[in-house]
């Protein structure tokens, strides 16, 4: 399963912080001046970060 790296790579992450709860995600200041999530190699691909991200283009609207 993917993680929120996908959202960052698509350029649609706003740095809202909703996914920062995972121990494998750390905020890192990007070139635009806001904190963007960076996922470490320990990611277990559980999908919870994507479930918390309202910008996942593959998520349902319900």
Binding interface with ligand SF4 (CB under 6 A):
3-4, 7, 13-19, 22, 24-25, 37, 39, 43-49, 52-53, 55
Give the nearest distance from C-beta 40 to ligand SF4 in angstroms.
Answer: 8
Residue-by-residue DSSP string for the chain: ---THHHHHTT------TTTTSTTEEEEE-TTSSEEEEE-TT-----HHHHH-TT-TTS---
Give the nearest distance from C-beta 28 to ligand SF4 in angstroms.
Answer: 11
Nearer to ligand SF4, 35 or 62 (CB): 35
């Amino acid at each position: 399963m993917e993680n929120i790296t996908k959202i960052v790579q698509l350029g649609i992450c706003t740095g809202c912080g909703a996914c920062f709860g995972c121990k494998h995600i750390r905020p890192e200041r990007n070139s635009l001046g806001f904190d963007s999530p960076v996922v470490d190699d320990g990611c277990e691909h559980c999908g919870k970060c994507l479930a918390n991200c309202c910008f996942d283009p593959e998520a349902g609207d319900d």
